[in-house]
Amino acid sequence: MFVLEPLCTMAAWAARNTAYNLDFIPDDRLNWKPADSANSALEIVQHVGLAIQSMHRVLDGGEWSPIPPPLPANREEAKQLLIESTDRYLERVRALTPEELSREVLIAGRFTFPVLRAATMPMVDLVHHHGQIAYLQTLLGDTEFHFMPDM
């Protein structure tokens, strides 16, 4: 089994469960922020898209360059960004060779990591922000646990 497969499976689920949880935020609250310095649900999804898409370039041998995708205009665009960018990223991760896993990459112009570690960063980011979406739901009064057991 590929060394990162358990994390890939978790990331695929986290992207889909985050998209599923977006269904429980009312349309008129997708841009709502609990504080001026906080992110809305759509901004959180944009950030996740940035983390994932920036790593696409690294895994393809390029430099990490944080170019954020456009802010999703609505729930469907947000869900599409989450799922499509994650699926593309996981395809590339699953195609990594043992030689690529040990290659050193530069992240943010100052941090050097082996690809094995760098490739996991968007996965951790995705799970972290999944929790933020659930927290926004709680702040909006939805205390039900929305869990998508199957993909």
Is residue 148 a part of any domain in this protein? no
Q: Give me the domain span that covers residue 95.
A: 42-139
Is residue 66 a part of any domain in this protein? yes
Is residue 124 a part of any domain in this protein? yes
Q: Tens of pLDDT along 90-149?
A: 999 999 998 899 999 988 888 899 999 999 999 999 999 999 999 999 999 988 887 777
Question: How far is 12 from 9, CA to CA, in rounded Å?
Answer: 5
CB atoms within 10 A of CB 137: 21
Q: What are the start-end ranges of the E strands in the chain?
A: 104-107, 111-114
Q: Could you tell me the pTM of the whole model?
A: 0.91
Is residue 4 a part of any domain in this protein? no
Is residue 132 a part of any domain in this protein? yes
Number of domains composing the chain:
1
Is residue 8 a part of any domain in this protein? no
- Domain of 49, CATH number, reads 1.20.120.450
> What is the crossing angle of helices 41-59 and 121-139, to 10°?
180
Question: How far is 139 from 60, CA to CA, in rounded Å?
Answer: 39
Is residue 33 a part of any domain in this protein? no
Tokens in use for 151?
């993909």
Q: Tens of pLDDT along 82-91?
A: 999 999 999 9
